[in-house]
Amino acid sequence: MEQSKLDKAKQVIRDFNKSQGKVMIKSASEVEKRNKLSFGVGALDRLTNGGIEYGVTTVVWGEAGTGKTTLALKLIAQAQKEGKICLYADIERSFNRDWAIKQGVDIDKLIYGKFFTAEQPLDAIVALAKEQCVDLILIDSLQGLSPKAEQIKGKSTVKSLEDDTMALLARKLSLFFRVAIPYISEAKTALVMIGQARTNLGSFVALDTLSGGHALKHNSRLTLRVRRGQGVDAPTEEIIDDDGKKHKTKIGYDMVVKVEKAQLEGVKELSEIHLPFYYGHGFNILEEALQKSDEIMKDIKTKEAVTEPQKKKRDRPSKKDK
């Protein structure tokens, strides 16, 4: 009896999938595991258990000047190393080509988009995901998105800034996620949204929050909060002044990355890391130091491997000693 039901269900599923022109219903065992995109920074990869996932939305948010865009550019550089196609949606017109190059981005292969309304980049994301032709999309930033209804009243009347536009962006993002999620998942596109912190008064205490509505919080599979740490934890270097006195001066800041939400295997919510962020370099000095450290360790191991057999040979007793 149960087998008869199963056979009937399989037949209905085959007929339904055929009528839709694609497989929409299948065994759960056929669902593929999502691949990950590395940050290219060891500490960030350890925090996120290997990086962000393709096919879902990741949100990176925090105050201005905390390294959010640099973190996202590292993702683009890593994706390009894998031969992936990337789109940078420059909502705030803040893209710095020289800084992108310094972070390892090949700007000749990076697709760049500038938009005037919130609908334009969101529609572009859906269109690109439908055609499955872009692997990583970065929106910088969410709070720069301006829905058309904020700008125009009716067919052509320009809106005044006095007009009420409360919650327009939140409603627009809610609609976007309802439409876009199936296509983003199917295309295995990684969508990264950068958000700016907004200060609210909660019980008379200033709290930093991420605006954008409940849809944004709900649909993000990984949310990273970025902030600056204590000044005493900032990277420093020693300098000698004209009088010959030694002083320590800050050459960067302590970058704190915290996991606020994680629906990824092996990622712990509320876990955080501290990274030295260097002015004019980002994470690059850290990466170069780690690379040099790895090279030194390899040289040491190579020398040990070469000298060890020789040492053993010298320790052998000679014929005269026997």
Distance in angstroms (rounded) separating the CA atoms of residues 197 and 143: 9
Is 319 part of a structural domain of the chain? no
Structural domain count, the chain = 1
Collapse the DSSP code of 44 into the 3-class scheme (helix H, G, I; strand E, B; otherwise coil) and give the result.
helix
Is 304 part of a structural domain of the chain? no
Is 102 part of a structural domain of the chain? yes
Give me the CATH number covering residue 267. Answer: 3.40.50.300
Collapse the DSSP code of 62 into the 3-class scheme (helix H, G, I; strand E, B; otherwise coil) and give the result.
strand
Confidence of residue 201 (pLDDT cuts 50, 70, 90): low
Q: What's residue 54's pLDDT?
A: 98
Residues 206-215 pLDDT 10s: 567 887 888 9
pLDDT at 80 over 90: yes
Residue linked to tokens 């399989």: 10
Contacts of 252 (CB under 8 A, 6+ apart): 234, 235, 276, 277, 278, 279, 281
pLDDT at 204 over 60: no
pLDDT at 124 over 50: yes
Collapse the DSSP code of 200 into the 3-class scheme (helix H, G, I; strand E, B; otherwise coil) and give the result.
strand
Residues 286-303 pLDDT 10s: 666 555 555 655 665 666
Is 309 part of a structural domain of the chain? no
Strands (E), the chain: 36-37, 52-53, 57-62, 86-90, 111-113, 136-140, 152-153, 157-158, 190-202, 205-210, 220-228, 236-240, 246-250, 252-262, 272-278
pLDDT at 200 over 90: no
Q: What's residue 157's pLDDT?
A: 65
pLDDT at 115 over 50: yes
* Lookup: tokens for 159: 């809106």
Is 186 part of a structural domain of the chain? yes
Distance in angstroms (rounded) separating the CA atoms of residues 208 and 196: 10
Q: What's residue 244's pLDDT?
A: 82
Q: DSSP state, 295?
A: H
For 163, the domain range is 33-299
Confidence of residue 163 (pLDDT cuts 50, 70, 90): low
Between the CA atoms of 181, 184, 190 and 195, what dihedral angle is there, to the nearest 10 degrees? -40
Contacts of 225 (CB under 8 A, 6+ apart): 61, 62, 257, 258, 259, 260
Confidence of residue 262 (pLDDT cuts 50, 70, 90): very high
Distance in angstroms (rounded) separating the CA atoms of residues 73 and 7: 50
Is 75 part of a structural domain of the chain? yes
Is 306 part of a structural domain of the chain? no
Give bridge partners of residue 241 from the DSSP assignment.
Answer: none
Distance in angstroms (rounded) separating the CA atoms of residues 37 and 249: 35
Number of other CB atoms surrounding residue 217 within 10 Å: 13
When the pLDDT of each residue in the chain is averaged and rounded to a whole number, the result is 86
pLDDT at 70 over 80: yes
Look at 172 and 206; give whichever has higher pLDDT: 172
Whole-prediction pTM: 0.83
Q: What angle do CA 231, 237, 240 make, to 5 degrees?
A: 125
Distance in angstroms (rounded) separating the CA atoms of residues 18 and 7: 17
pLDDT at 314 over 70: no
Is 194 part of a structural domain of the chain? yes
